[in-house]
Amino acid sequence: MNAIIPQAWLQERLQQPGIVIVDCRFQLGKPESGHTEYQESHIPGAVYLDLEKDLSAPVGEHGGRHPLPDIVDLSVTFSRAGIGNESIVVAYDDQGGAMASRLWWLLTYLGHEKVYVLDEGFTAWKQAGLPVTEEQTEVVPARFIATVQHSMLAEVYDVRDTLGTDRAVLIDSREAARYRGEVEPIDRVAGHIPGAVNRFWKDALDARGAWKPAVEQAARFDGIPQDAEIIVYCGSGVTATPNVLALREAGFTSVKLYAGSWSDWISYEGNPVAVGEEEERKG
C-alpha cells in the first residue's frame, strides 16, 4: 500500500478500531495557529501534534531550526497520543503534506510500518463535505517501542564525507531562489551545500494540491539511479520529508534525511557554501 491515502480510504475507516488520526497543521511564524484551527474543527477522532512542541527538540547550537527529538521523548509523545506499534496512523495538515510528512518520517524512522499521509489535507476534506467536528478526542494512551532505522538518517559528517565525491546525490528541497542563494528569508546564510541539486518539494503536488502518482514522482528525479544513495535536505528538515516520501513512492531504495538540513550545516564554521546552479551528473 502506498503511503499517500485518498479521502475515501479514511472516510470508510473513521470508526475502525486501531486507527489513530493525527492533525499536524502548523504555520511557520504562527506557531499557535495549528492548534487553534484544530480546536475549531478537525477530522473526528483526530489528536493534535505540534511541529515544534511535539515533533522537534528545543533549538540548540547545532541540529538546525527543528532538531530531531530525543528518541525516548518522542516514543513517550507517541504513546501519549495513543499510537502503539500496531496502530494504523493517518497524518494530515493544510500545508501541502509537509508537516504530515514529518510525522510520517519520524514514525517510519522509529520502525513504525503503518503510517500514511492523507492526500490533499484538511481543507479539501472539509470542502468535500466529509465529517468534521470541534469535539475534543479522548485519548487512550498506548505503548510505543522504537526500533530505530539508522539507515534513514544522515548526520552532518555524512554529508561532509560526500562532498566532491560520487558517493551520494544531495537533493535540496527548497525553492529555487533560496537554493541559488538569491534570497534567504529565514536562515542567516544564503546558498546551498556544494554539489546539491534542486528539487522543490512542492513539485510533488499537482495544480490542485494532490500528490502526483509514482510515475510522475519518478520523472521529477530523472537521471538519478534508483539504487543511488540519496541525501535529502531543506531549511530545517521538515519540507525535505515530502521529497523523501516521494522518492520512496517512486521506488528509490536508499534515501536518507539530513535532519538538521541547511540551518544545521551553516551552524558549523568552515562548512562550505555554494550559490547559483550546479551542473547535474546523470546516472
Q: Among the options 234, 240, 244, 266, which is catalytic?
A: 234
Average pLDDT, the chain: 96
Note the pLDDT of residue 29: 86
List the one residue out of 162, 209, 160, 182 whose CA is nearest residue 277.
Answer: 182
How many structural domains compose the chain? 2
State pLDDT tens for residues 145-171: 999 999 999 999 999 999 999 999 999
Same domain flag for 169 and 204:
yes
Note the pLDDT of residue 278: 87
Note the pLDDT of residue 280: 74
Same domain flag for 172 and 118:
no
pLDDT for 189 beyond 90: yes
Note the pLDDT of residue 181: 98
Note the pLDDT of residue 281: 60
State pLDDT tens for residues 10-65: 999 998 999 999 999 999 889 899 999 999 999 999 999 999 999 999 999 999 99
Give the model's confidence band at 282: pLDDT under 50 very low, under 70 low, under 90 confident, else very high.
Answer: low
Same domain flag for 158 and 113:
no
Same domain flag for 92 and 173:
no
pLDDT for 101 beyond 80: yes
Is 281 inside a domain boundary? no
On the CB side of 38, CA atoms within 13 Å amount to 22
Same domain flag for 181 and 110:
no
pLDDT for 252 beyond 70: yes
Helix or strand holding residue 116 (H, E): strand 115-118
Is 141 inside a domain boundary? no
Q: At what angle do helices 98-109 and 241-249 cross, to 10 degrees?
A: 70
pLDDT for 261 beyond 80: yes
Is 282 inside a domain boundary? no
Indicate if 234 belongs to the active site. Answer: yes
Is 139 inside a domain boundary? no
**Domain of 59?**
4-127
Same domain flag for 81 and 170:
no
Residue 260 neighbours by CB under 8 Å, 6+ apart: 62, 63, 64, 67, 155, 156, 236, 237, 267
Q: What is the DSSP letter of 280?
A: P
